[in-house]
Amino acid sequence: MDERIVSDPAICSGKPCIRGTRIMVRNILGMLAGGYTIERVLEAYPELEREDVVAALTYASTIPQPAQ
């Protein structure tokens, strides 16, 4: 897992978050899926860096897809 993405049972019930925040990867992915640009995500979460958003995308690409 990317060092920017953490999963701690004490933070957001262990859901993957951006290190040092309670911003869940799924929130970032949802924004991007909803049409937000990376720049717009960064405006919504000024505490994030571009690399955090890229790390969320990279993390998502490593999640196994359910069998069809």
DSSP β-bridge partners for residue 6: 17
- CA 7 to CA 11: how far, in whole Å? 7
- CA 15 to CA 34: how far, in whole Å? 20
Provide the pLDDT for residue 16. 96
Provide the pLDDT for residue 24. 98
Model confidence band, residue 1 (pLDDT cutoffs 50, 70, 90): low
Asked if 22 and 12 touch (Cβ cutoff 8 Å), the reply is: yes
Taking alpha carbons only, the member of 20, 22, 3 closest to residue 12 is: 22
pLDDT in tens, 16-54: 999 999 999 999 999 999 999 999 999 999 999 999 999
Q: What is the pTM of this model?
A: 0.88
Domains, the chain, ranges and CATH?
5-61 (1.10.10.10)
Model confidence band, residue 58 (pLDDT cutoffs 50, 70, 90): very high
